[in-house]
């Protein structure tokens, strides 16, 4: 990789890429220029570190690139915005193969392309291990951002996307298991319901959050920001067959994955009670006066990452 | 640091900070919202890695934070844009002291504040060494971006800011020397002429570049992007007294620092010949038909980082 040098490497990584119309000036100058038709830009950044957030014996470079893009895109769609552009800061050891860097970048482009965004810039530097830092820009299309703070008593809580899959996949990988493949795959690359975010904003979501830490933990963040209590109804959470299979293989309770597993980047949102929920959204609870998160009316105390967000 | 946890740490780092009016929604939600009054956003990202781009025995955490912000801000002002917001991805070992993280963040805020920008978001993760990835957003205020590609034969080449200081400081530090302190300090924290960038755009700069790799190398990038030749006049580059002093101490030719030293983040720009240059800009050369960069009319071949950009 070093034989190419930084300039040669960057040229390789952007060669032949097609930028969307929102990329007014792409990579190659001191900075890029991206359209912001709304006159506001939604922006978020996340960093993934080899050995901490991913392992190259568990994930391919292409999967790491997809995941790095996905965790960022999930953050801006959770505000109700549409992604326009990604930037990547990539640190890698000097002996990293060009193929590894190209595959990682391929994954980033693929995930960005799935939402119509371009990769408009980046920086490639030497580092002792692979570090991927992604920033995503997004446009609100004239809508107000959907924060975590707008939930009101009487709203319903709804969920879009999968929960528990990535955590189950991690438990399988930690035991050296490769099946069910769709569960392991969920740990390697999340599959966030990107369009459900802007769609929820369009029908009047009052609050929304990207579930990165676990359903109960993140609904707890939403409840705290909104100054409300949220009741989650476990009966609304159906354990999918592959997670049931994984739970049997590992001798675990699959509901723990659904309630506390992170990294799937589902979306949780609250809506006025009379909202007709869009396809892809499932009602899983209600908002009421008070503080904290409850499971079936009880303060939940059985799961890691949960206790310190609750208050009765 | 780990005792605080990620949420506690982020809360500490943003507590009491005053955001500029352009920060419509600051840190604490899934993403931030930043004003983009121009309906275009200029964006750039750079990553600094401990042991590669900085050493904590040579620089304080506050200096690292300032430098991480400065190298990014320089990229967007070189497009003629005004910075509005910064985001930070920060990786650090679990045993990093809270004081170190706070000082680094303090440096980032101080440098961002010097140009009226806020720090609107970030991510703090565990990593084997400190990694700082900064992204900067900026606004063009209705002006066209000043790229590297607009220089025309007959234009003048002008310079704003210092060149050679950071390279001289690095050579001093490598020899264990701490004086002249202003030269060592230039390696620790660059002092880019931020406002000279948008100002140059206002008076009609045809091309501009942030000098991060060295004057001749970066003017070479500008010449190549513009499809022109550029003649740099060495007589226009005066060696400042502290660099002369450093050169005597090290037995080196100080002009080499001025011509090839990077990391000061001066700006080089081209202007139509009849432009009245603003204060802070010095004429250092001319643009003519052809390709490549010349020093006093000769292809320069005496300095690292230079040869492969030249073509007669």
A163: domain CATH number is 3.90.650.10
* pLDDT at residue B226 greater than cutoff 90: yes
Boundary residue ending a domain (A105, A139, A173): A139
Give tens-digit pLDDT for A254-293: 999 999 999 999 999 999 999 999 999 999 999 999 999 9
- Summarize the confidence of residues A167-178 as an average pLDDT: 95
Query: Which CATH number goes with the domain that contains A34?
Result: 3.30.1330.10
Boundary residue ending a domain (B112, B139, B166): B139
In the three-class reduction of DSSP (H, G, I as helix; E, B as strand; rest coil), residue A217 is classed as helix
| Residue A215 and residue A283 in one domain | yes
Q: Which chain A residues are closer than 8 Å to B41 by Cβ?
A: 33-34, 36, 41, 137
| Residue B78 and residue B160 in one domain | no
A128 touching chain B per CB within 8 A: yes
Give tens-digit pLDDT for A190-243: 999 999 999 999 999 999 999 999 999 999 999 999 999 999 999 999 999 999
Contact B76, B194 (CB under 8 A): no
| Residue A213 and residue A278 in one domain | yes
Name the pTM for this structure: 0.92
Specify the length of chain B in residues: 312
In a domain, A151, yes or no: no
pLDDT value for A301: 58
| Residue B134 and residue B221 in one domain | no
β-pairing verdict for B131-139 and B82-92: antiparallel
Phi and psi at residue A10, to the nearest 5°: -60, -40
Structural domains counted in chain B: 2
What is the CB neighbour count within 10 angstroms for residue A71?
A: 25
Boundary residue ending a domain (B139, B170, B193): B139
Sequence-distant contacts of A14-17: CB under 8 A, at least 24 apart: A14/A119, A17/A109, A17/A118, A17/A119
Provide the chain B residues 229-288 that lie in CB contact (below 8 A) with chain A. none
| Residue A120 and residue A190 in one domain | no
Contact A128 B128 (CB under 8 A): yes
- Residue A301: burial class (beta carbons within 10 Å; 0-12, 13-18, 19+): exposed
Which residue from B31, B39, B140 is facing A43, i.e. has the nearest CB? B31
User: Could you give the maximum distance between any two Cα atoms of chain A, in Å?
Assistant: 62
| Higher pLDDT among residues A26 and A6, named by residue | A26
* pLDDT at residue B2 greater than cutoff 60: no
User: Is the alpha carbon torsion for B271, B276, B280, B282 positive or negative?
Assistant: positive
* pLDDT at residue A312 greater than cutoff 90: no
How far from the centroid of its chain's Cα atoms is residue A287's Cα? 24
Write out the H or E segment, with its range, that includes residue A123: strand A118-126
Which residue from A30, A49, A122 is facing B209, i.e. has the nearest CB? A30
Contact B30 A210 (CB under 8 A): yes
Give tens-digit pLDDT for B242-294: 999 999 999 999 999 999 999 999 999 999 999 999 999 999 999 999 999 99
Q: State the ipTM, two decimals.
A: 0.92
Closest CA to A301 of A264, A259, A261: A259
The tokens of A89 are what?
């800061």
In a domain, A78, yes or no: yes
Instruction: Tell me how far apart the alpha carbons of residues A221 and B9 are, in angstroms, rounded to a whole number.
Output: 16
| Residue A169 and residue A207 in one domain | yes
Q: Domain limits at A226?
A: 156-309
Instruction: Tell me how far apart the alpha carbons of residues A310 and A293 are, in angstroms, rounded to a whole number.
Output: 6
| Residue A191 and residue A121 in one domain | no
Q: What percent of chain B has pLDDT over 70?
A: 92
């Amino acid at each position: 990789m070093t034989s190419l040098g930084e300039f040669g490497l960057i040229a390789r990584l952007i060669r032949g890429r097609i930028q969307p119309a929102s990329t007014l000036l792409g990579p190659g100058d001191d900075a890029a220029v991206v359209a912001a038709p709304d006159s506001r830009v939604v922006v978020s950044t996340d960093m993934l570190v080899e050995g901490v957030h991913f392992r190259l014996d568990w994930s391919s470079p292409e999967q790491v690139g997809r995941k790095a893009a996905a965790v960022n895109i999930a953050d801006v769609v959770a505000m109700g915005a549409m992604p326009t552009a990604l930037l990547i800061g990539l640190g890698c050891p000097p002996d990293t193969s060009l193929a590894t860097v190209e595959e990682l970048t391929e994954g980033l482009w693929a995930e960005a392309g799935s939402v119509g965004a371009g990769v408009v810039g980046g920086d490639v530097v030497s580092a002792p291990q692979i570090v991927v830092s992604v920033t995503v820009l997004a446009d609100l299309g004239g809508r107000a951002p959907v924060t975590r703070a707008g939930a009101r008593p009487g709203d319903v809580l709804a969920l879009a996307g999968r929960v528990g899959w990535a955590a189950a996949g991690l438990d399988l990988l930690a035991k050296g298991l490769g099946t069910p493949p769709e569960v392991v795959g969920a740990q390697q690359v999340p599959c966030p319901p990107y369009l459900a975010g802007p769609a929820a904003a369009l029908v009047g979501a009052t609050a929304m959050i990207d579930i990165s830490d676990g359903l109960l933990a993140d609904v707890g963040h939403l409840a705290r920001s909104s100054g409300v209590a949220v009741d989650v109804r476990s009966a609304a959470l159906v354990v999918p067959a592959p997670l049931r299979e994984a739970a049997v293989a590992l001798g675990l309770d699959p509901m723990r994955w659904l309630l506390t597993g992170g990294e799937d980047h589902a979306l949780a949102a609250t809506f006025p009670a009379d909202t007709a929920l869009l396809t892809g959204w499932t009602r899983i609870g209600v908002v009421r006066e008070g503080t904290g998160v409850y499971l079936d009316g009880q303060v939940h105390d059985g799961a890691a990452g949960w206790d310190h967000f609750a208050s009765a």
